[in-house]
């Protein structure tokens, strides 16, 4: 069986961690910086990092419209932290002029937990991935404030705040499974690439 060829948007953020995890799961991983590279992959990871910087760089590198088109055309996507922000149709507390790529029918609040010092780890029950609770690391993380009818919640904190959503072949997470050796979300992503 040939390996699935997937991309990790490599403009800024934790590209290496996602690449290592996907390679470990048998995928052929391509760093994506240009539109022609995007055209060669079957799925895409939008990594954690600084969402406003990734937004600016995507425009500077001519990637914004190709990314929007690929997502709109149904390319499977996994977005973690900043990646979730980029996938949101609606953004609260973005910097002036900040834009998203869209794809998830959600409203996301940027840096909802405060600064770096408010980072934390917790365990989450996520029936969508099965098995024991998920170890989740939140670093200057966003929160999903509102979920439209097209999207479904797959993870929430014990206090009810929403931290994971899915819509068709798109998965958006507030936390960083790639930092905790938590492979189940990447496996779910690869399964959706295979199905597509």
Q: Which domains does the chain have, with CATH numbers?
A: 5-195 (3.40.50.880)
Model pLDDT, residue 114 = 75
Greater confidence, 58 or 116? Answer: 58
Catalytic residues, by residue number, are 81, 176, 178
Q: What is the pLDDT of residues 137-172, one digit of tens each?
A: 999 999 999 999 999 999 999 999 999 999 999 999
CA-CA distances (angstroms) from residue 8 to 76, 82, 148, 150?
A: 12, 13, 27, 25
CB 43 within 8 A of CB 75: yes
Please tell me the distance from the alpha carbon of residue 80 to that of residue 108, in angstroms, as a whole number: 13
């Amino acid at each position: 069986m040939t390996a699935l060829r997937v991309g990790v948007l490599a403009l800024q953020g934790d590209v290496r961690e996602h690449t290592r995890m996907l390679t470990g799961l048998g995928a052929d991983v391509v760093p994506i910086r240009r539109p022609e590279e995007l055209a060669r992959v079957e799925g895409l990871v939008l990594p954690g990092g600084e969402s406003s910087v990734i937004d600016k760089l995507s425009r500077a590198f001519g990637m914004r419209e190709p990314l929007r088109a690929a997502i709109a055309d149904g390319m499977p996507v996994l977005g973690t932290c900043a990646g979730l922000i980029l996938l949101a149709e609606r953004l609260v507390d973005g910097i002036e002029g900040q834009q998203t790529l869209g794809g998830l029918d959600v409203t996301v609040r940027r840096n909802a937990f405060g600064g770096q010092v408010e980072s934390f780890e917790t365990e989450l029950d996520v029936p969508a991935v099965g098995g024991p609770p998920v170890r989740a690391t939140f670093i200057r993380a966003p929160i999903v404030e509102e979920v439209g009818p097209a999207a479904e919640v797959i993870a929430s904190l014990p206090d009810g705040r929403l931290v994971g959503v899915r819509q068709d072949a798109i998965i958006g997470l507030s936390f960083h499974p790639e930092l905790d050796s938590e492979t189940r979300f990447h496996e779910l992503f690869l399964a959706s690439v295979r199905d597509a």
